[in-house]
Structure 1
């Protein structure tokens, strides 16, 4: 199941019910104490109630009752559920979907105890007609009696299947008067339905920022304990053999002791029987930690290193959960993942999050204070949280909201020279070297009449299209009436490909000169002669491979330096060789034609 929305009421700063849309990637941004972490922790309570537990003190101080409410709305729920032996039914047939055809589960915690217990409700458009409004709470005998009282022939239903009896009763009542109700799932088939649905709920894994970051932290210890358990499982036969030998030798010693005891007290010896009280727990005898080559433990390293290792422990554990629950959606929640991280790691993190959110069975929720990180996030992912008197407001999706976010975090447009006549928006800094070198080579060999510098077209890296940095830069372009064009990586062969195609179509439909690379990304065009490969090397790249990684591994260099290091060595002839493609029998030159179109923005 996929989480579409969360509603929070009377929880900490959220007094009135606040509805928050959740997408594949969702980023909460706001000032300190605005209420960002409260959303992540409310979800932890809803799904797990372990790392963060609901407490009496979580009740909003201005609440008009003692009911903390956390509601989650899901799509992609199972087509069928089994609550009667092997007889499937559907949520729709049981009238358990809300007015939008989605599954809405509300958990209510009465803040009258130190650790409130949950009451679970399904919010649904349910029959309210007499004799049809309580069927999910009735036992089979009661359902049969209800059907008999209503004069429903027994041949109209299967008396051994509750859902069949309910269907027959509802069909006999005519107008069901469907209304939104909160159906308490505490008995009979309501409880069976929820117990079944729990197996399909997303897994939720929260990574908090205010951690001690020691090597005995639970999130560190748990994966390491799991590693020990997995190793013991692989050695299970050997371990069972050892246990048997130890047991036999120990019992033999005990029996010999009893034999001696019989010589002194036969009655007592006959009463005693040697027996092992518990199975030995081998996993508790092993404690695994990680040290550096200098024998320095994690908790003695720098805070950034500790947190980076801890973050990846968490990612590994979350991946394990996903592998063990094939088919389940998993929600990764990260609170300020950029904390104590170098800017290069911050960019790597956001790219990893975006890749994970596009994997098809993962959702990412995060909070951030960092302009560099927020600037790279897609606009549709942004949620701005701010305090309004005694309540919290969550906003999204408008220029006004984006302006608030940009102002709050200090997200600035990339600098553009004052005399720029136009802008070519690119994904990254290395693309500037790629574009600039290509244009100079093509001009020097007569394939172009100008370079971008000649026409004062600024090359502006924005980290991608449709993110906050892009929006901020376009605001600048509109303010000074500067035309712009866009070149994006196609990400061909990845989950991002179709999204990029759709973005370019939208831009072109609005009259923007916008292109995708025909290959995955610029690194896929690097001519192999520039890599100075050893004789006999079989190294190769194609249109869709991760050329950046392959070249970096082959040449032992940084991925971010591939274009600056190798593309800038390419001659015009090599560029023409890698940019040529066949178009219905005619030779076309991708970058030459694309650049000519971009340059036409300026007379």
Structure 2
């Protein structure tokens, strides 16, 4: 699953319903206290409610309601879900998708208690006709009675499968009326289906910029918890097999017990159904940490060192995902102010790791910053329209590199190593009589922008347009073979179409 949208209402500064859209990489840029961290923490509450816990004081000041609403919308949904060993179905078949065909989960935190617990609803286009609107909340015996009362042929469904009975009932009505409703998921199969949905939800890992040190410092523990979760996902098939066999054997034992009970009290036995109340939590069985070789706790080291460990966690993940075609459960890395306590060169490496991760399937990156250097490295696709980009450059104070009044043309390059390359190339070509002047002598400026689809290149291009200077773009093709159409090649082709001097 992929996080598509967040809706907030009555949560801290977001009093009116606020909708936030997400992409593979989403950056929140703005001044302090603008509400950037609130969005990341709302997601933490939605997915985990552990590192950040919903509290009564999170209710927006001045609202008349006493509830906080945090809603997440997901796309890229699983093709099928398994409610029990014999019942394969889908979210579409169970009428659990909203008007756009997405999964929309709403969590309501009633602030009558100090630490409110969420009530969960699925917002979906669901049947509203009497007799057809409550099927997910019925026990199997009641489903059978409903099917019988509607005179549905028993041969048209499997009496052992709630999924099959529901499908037969819904199919029996020619013009089933549906409407977007808030469906409760607290009873019977609605509860079971939501339990299955939870296993598909993305892992959400939040790394905050300012947190207290303790012996179980979350700044280190969180990525290690993610590592455990990912290891379990890679063994999901084996785990599911073990879980299924345990459940089957346990249900067989329960079945034999009920069979014996039937001999003594048939009515009581008929009213009892074996059921597993919750899914086993395998990730809570494994604890992983990183320890200094001199027995000094990592949390006692400097904040820069602690966050440097995180940096390399991201870099390691990027490298692993580049070398393996993963199809596991999706993961969202949310990083608040990654520039904190880091050397500028480390900041650049971190952003490169973010971009590599975000380009892979099943991975999304969310981050916040108010640092010009970091904001300038982010791709413009994660910022929005020219109007938004202009506002961001003004807010952050992102400036283009100074350009001399004598400059005749510009070449946009990726990094400072390209300057060394071109200066050496020009020197060799001039010494061998191939050219008359070097770029420097011809007043052609080399401007490193870190790429040509980020904020730094965008503001540089505004300067180019302002002064009407001819320019060129020099990028590594990043091609692995002749037929590759890489991101850099697409960027250059886009600029060729829309400008007069790109090359």
TM-score after normalising by structure 1: 0.67
Deviation, structure 1 residue 204:
0.8
Q: Is the contact between residue 127 and residue 133 of structure 1 (CA under 8 Å) also seen in structure 2?
A: yes
Q: Which of 483, 491, 503 is residue 491 of structure 2 equivalent to?
A: 503
Deviation, structure 1 residue 61:
0.8
Deviation, structure 1 residue 158:
2.2
Match of 1:113 in 2: 113
Deviation, structure 1 residue 157:
2.2
- Deviation per residue, 1:431-461 (Å, 9 max, x gap): 1221232233234434446543344222111
- Change in Cα spacing, 1:210 to 1:133, as seen in structure 2 (3 Å) is same
- Deviation per residue, 1:149-184 (Å, 9 max, x gap): 222222222222222222222222222222211111
Q: Is the contact between residue 215 and residue 297 of structure 2 (CA under 8 Å) also seen in structure 1?
A: yes
Match of 2:46 in 1: 46
2:460 pairs with 1:458: no
Match of 1:411 in 2: 398
Deviation, structure 1 residue 188:
1.2
How many Å separate the matches in 2 of 1:23 and 1:343?
A: 26
Match of 1:547 in 2: none
Structure 2: runs of 5+ lacking an equivalent:
228-285
Deviation, structure 1 residue 120:
1.0
Match of 1:82 in 2: 82
How many Å separate the matches in 2 of 1:319 and 1:45?
A: 30
Alignment of 1:186-225 (within 5 A): 186-213=186-213, 216-220=216-220
Structure 2 counterpart SS, 1:171: helix
Alignment of 1:355-370 (within 5 A): 355-370=356-371
- Change in Cα spacing, 1:300 to 1:206, as seen in structure 2 (3 Å) is closer
Q: Is the contact between residue 67 and residue 111 of structure 1 (CA under 8 Å) also seen in structure 2?
A: yes
How many Å separate the matches in 1 of 2:430 and 2:351?
A: 37
Q: Is the contact between residue 213 and residue 306 of structure 1 (CA under 8 Å) also seen in structure 2?
A: no
Structure 2 counterpart SS, 1:501: helix
- Change in Cα spacing, 1:316 to 1:198, as seen in structure 2 (3 Å) is farther
- Deviation per residue, 1:270-316 (Å, 9 max, x gap): xxxxxxxxxxxxx99x9974267xx9765665443344246557988
Deviation, structure 1 residue 367:
0.9
Deviation, structure 1 residue 499:
2.4
Q: Is the contact between residue 215 and residue 290 of structure 1 (CA under 8 Å) also seen in structure 2?
A: no
How many Å separate the matches in 2 of 1:216 and 1:311?
A: 19
- Change in Cα spacing, 1:457 to 1:224, as seen in structure 2 (3 Å) is closer
- Change in Cα spacing, 1:304 to 1:219, as seen in structure 2 (3 Å) is closer
Matched residues, number: 440
How many Å separate the matches in 1 of 2:16 and 2:224?
A: 42
How many Å separate the matches in 2 of 1:424 and 1:214?
A: 50
How many Å separate the matches in 1 of 2:165 and 2:221?
A: 51
- Change in Cα spacing, 1:100 to 1:431, as seen in structure 2 (3 Å) is same
- Deviation per residue, 1:45-87 (Å, 9 max, x gap): 1111111111111111132311211111112221100114322
- Change in Cα spacing, 1:9 to 1:93, as seen in structure 2 (3 Å) is same
- Deviation per residue, 1:516-574 (Å, 9 max, x gap): xxxxxxxxxxxxxxxxxxxxxxxxxxxxxxxxxxxxxxxxxxxxxxxxxxxxxxxxxxx
Match of 1:470 in 2: 457
Match of 1:27 in 2: 27
How many Å separate the matches in 2 of 1:497 and 1:482?
A: 29
Q: Which of 370, 385, 390 is residue 398 of structure 1 equivalent to?
A: 385
Match of 1:375 in 2: 376
Bigger-Rg structure (1/2):
1
- Change in Cα spacing, 1:442 to 1:178, as seen in structure 2 (3 Å) is farther
Structure 1: runs of 5+ lacking an equivalent:
228-282, 383-396, 516-603
Alignment of 1:106-505 (within 5 A): 106-213=106-213, 216-220=216-220, 289-290=291-292, 301-309=301-309, 312=312, 327-382=328-383, 397-448=384-435, 450-493=437-480, 498-505=486-493
How many Å separate the matches in 1 of 2:398 and 2:431?
A: 38
